[in-house]
């Protein structure tokens, strides 16, 4: 069988199938594994230019345990005591901690004792919602309202009813917090899946629990996760072919028959796991027969893209930690610009990952930074222009300066990537980095699962269930492998697959 794409989901599938003794070939057009989890050399230094946060460690513990591997034997993880440092101006800073009590104390000093108590109530709700949804949603092959109704406990049903699942995340946050800065801070959870907090469902409060269960720094950067999975899969017999571009997935007699590479080589395969954005399938980029493999997503919006700058240089002023977020005053305007007007935000939030740092307020001799601002997924329409990106970059630097941070780096030590670049890297997406946006309460059920309409074609990656993010993509790879194995064992295509093992709760 063939896995198309060596992103995290494809690597997870390849590892599990190879560990079962199944011959696996992974084709990847890039020169290295990782997909969106990519790393660039900037001024001779490696900088992670994709996902930068390692959470839900239990997903990787379980994935590797299935292949007979202990995660700690393969990856060096350092737990972070500070989840992120947030700033609104040079005098307004707030750290969130992995320790809930320390976060409550910091919020009390920042916004008052009443907001600290509201934060503690918010954490209790996030814990209940996460506990309710982990089994029937995250671990299930493709959840449905009926299945979740059956699988949710009475406590789970009560937790969702109290949350108000039909509410938006923003309305849920307004119930908890009176300080608009705290609404901004926790509203960012919607952007973790490429969405607007005004349109994303209230169930995303569960991200608070995910973060409090632990955030880690990975030695060697996040790309080390991809390298580790590829090495483990290869040890178990998987073959990796880099620089091998899948031009078409061949369908004969109504089912998958081969993978054709650019240049004409055909790899016979009656089973293929496609680890790419389903938008490419719908657009017919892998063959006209594949355009009907996944149902059309009626009314769905593309998720966020990004404008990023990978920098090697020096900083001064602001005491950076590993993860830092700088907020503008008008948060709603950012999402009106992106999802309403389809343009770069006039005043965008800026995320800065300082990859040479952990928890200590000690500046290294030289920084390796990834700076990111949200952008519309309009790369296939020639937007934004270079002039618009220049303007956005200047505005972002001005915000950082107002918050006390200055960055010094020569032009050759800065690599900018915009929506058009992401469209070239991930065709058919317009540069969207998270599949379709998670807008509306039914969006949880709108992502395709691991099966497709084409027998033998399985789906994995951030555009399918359970969604974007490194651990979720890994989970989708586990689900795709489990579904493929279940179909080998049974001719029933309605068989439910649920991933077992592991827990994220303390």
Q: Is 457 exposed, middle or buried (0-12, 13-18, 19+ CB in 10 A)?
A: buried
Q: Is 287 left (phi over 0), alpha (psi -120 to 50) or beta?
A: left
Do 438 and 194 contact (CB within 8 A), yes or no?
yes
Residue 298, pLDDT score: 77
Do 5 and 277 contact (CB within 8 A), yes or no?
no
Whole-number average pLDDT of the chain:
92
Residue 492, pLDDT score: 45
Residue 493, pLDDT score: 45
Q: Is 145 left (phi over 0), alpha (psi -120 to 50) or beta?
A: alpha
Phi (first) and psi of residue 294, to 5 degrees: -125, 130
Q: What is the spatial distance between Cα 471 and Cα 479, in angstroms, rounded to a whole number?
A: 12
User: Could you please report the per-residue DSSP string of 152-221?
Assistant: --HHHHHHHHHH-TTSBHHHHHHHH--SHHHHHHHHGGGGGGT--TTTSBGGGGGHHHHHHT--EEETT-
Query: Could you tell me which of 463, 372, 473, 378 has the C-alpha nearest to residue 423?
Result: 378
* Bridge partners for 371 per DSSP: 309, 352
Q: What is the spatial distance between Cα 93 and Cα 75, in angstroms, rounded to a whole number?
A: 32
Q: What is the spatial distance between Cα 98 and Cα 55, in angstroms, rounded to a whole number?
A: 12
At a CB cut-off of 8 Å and minimum separation 6, what does 297 contact? 282, 436, 446
Sequence length of the chain is: 506
Do 465 and 19 contact (CB within 8 A), yes or no?
no
| Exposure b/e, 272-309, CB count within 10 A at least 16 = b | bbbbbbbbbbbeebbbebbeebbeebeebbbbbbbbbb
Instruction: Point out the residues of the chain with pLDDT beneath 70.
Output: 136, 141-162, 165, 360-361, 491-506
Per-residue pLDDT of 404-415, as tens digits, reads 999 999 999 999
Q: What pTM did the predictor assign?
A: 0.93
* Structure-block tokens of residue 368: 């390796």
Residue 160, pLDDT score: 67
* Structure-block tokens of residue 465: 């269930």
Q: What is the spatial distance between Cα 304 and Cα 292, in angstroms, rounded to a whole number?
A: 25
Q: What is the spatial distance between Cα 504 and Cα 57, in angstroms, rounded to a whole number?
A: 8
Q: What is the spatial distance between Cα 381 and Cα 107, in angstroms, rounded to a whole number?
A: 43
Do 460 and 273 contact (CB within 8 A), yes or no?
yes
């Amino acid at each position: 069988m063939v896995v198309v794409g060596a992103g995290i989901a494809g690597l997870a599938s390849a590892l599990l199938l190879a560990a079962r003794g199944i011959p696996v070939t992974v084709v990847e057009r890039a020169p290295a594994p990782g997909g969106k989890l990519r790393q660039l050399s900037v001024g001779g230094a490696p900088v992670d230019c994709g996902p930068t946060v390692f959470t839900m460690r239990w997903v990787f513990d379980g994935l590797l345990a299935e292949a007979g591997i202990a995660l700690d034997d393969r990856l060096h993880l350092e737990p972070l005591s500070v989840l992120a440092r947030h700033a609104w101006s040079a005098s307004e800073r707030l750290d969130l901690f992995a320790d809930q009590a320390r976060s409550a104390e910091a919020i009390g000093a920042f916004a008052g004792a009443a907001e600290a108590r509201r934060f503690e109530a918010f954490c209790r709700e996030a814990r209940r919602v996460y506990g309710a949804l982990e089994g029937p949603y995250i671990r299930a092959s493709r959840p449905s309202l009926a299945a979740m109704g059956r699988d949710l406990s009475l406590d789970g049903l009560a937790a969702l009813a109290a949350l108000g699942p039909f509410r938006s995340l923003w309305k849920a946050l307004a119930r908890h917090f009176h300080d608009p800065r705290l609404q901004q801070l926790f509203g960012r959870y919607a952007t973790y899946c490429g969405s607007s907090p005004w349109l994303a469902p209230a169930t995303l409060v569960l991200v608070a629990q995910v973060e409090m269960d632990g955030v880690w720094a990975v030695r060697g950067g996040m790309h080390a996760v991809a390298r580790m999975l590829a090495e483990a899969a290869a040890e178990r017999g998987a073959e990796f072919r880099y620089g091998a571009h899948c031009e078409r997935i061949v369908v004969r007699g109504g089912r998958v028959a081969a993978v054709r590479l650019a240049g004409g080589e055909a790899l016979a395969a009656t089973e293929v796991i496609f680890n790419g954005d389903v938008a490419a399938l719908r657009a017919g980029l892998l063959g006209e027969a594949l355009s009907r493999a996944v149902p059309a997503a009626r009314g769905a919006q593309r998720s966020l893209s990004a404008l990023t700058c990978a920098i090697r240089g020096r900083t001064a002023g602001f005491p950076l930690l590993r993860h830092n977020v700088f907020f503008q005053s008008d948060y709603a305007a950012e999402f009106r610009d992106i999802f309403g007007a389809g343009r770069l935000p006039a005043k965008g939030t800026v995320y800065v990952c300082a990859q040479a740092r952990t928890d200590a307020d000690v500046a290294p001799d030289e920084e390796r930074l990834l700076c990111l601002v949200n952008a519309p997924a309009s790369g296939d329409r020639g937007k934004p222009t270079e002039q618009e990106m220049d303007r956005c970059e200047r505005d972002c630097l001005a915000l950082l300066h107002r918050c006390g941070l200055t960055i010094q780096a020569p032009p050759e030590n800065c690599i900018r990537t915009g929506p058009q670049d992401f469209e070239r890297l991930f065709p058919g997406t317009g540069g969207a980095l998270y599949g379709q946006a998670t807008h509306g309460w039914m969006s949880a059920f709108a992502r395709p699962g691991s099966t497709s309409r084409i027998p033998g074609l399985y789906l994995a990656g951030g555009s399918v269930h359970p969604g974007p993010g490194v651990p979720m993509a890994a989970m989708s790879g586990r689900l795709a492998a489990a579904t493929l194995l279940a179909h080998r064992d049974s001719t029933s295509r309605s068989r439910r697959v649920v991933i077992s093992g592991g827990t994220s709760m303390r």
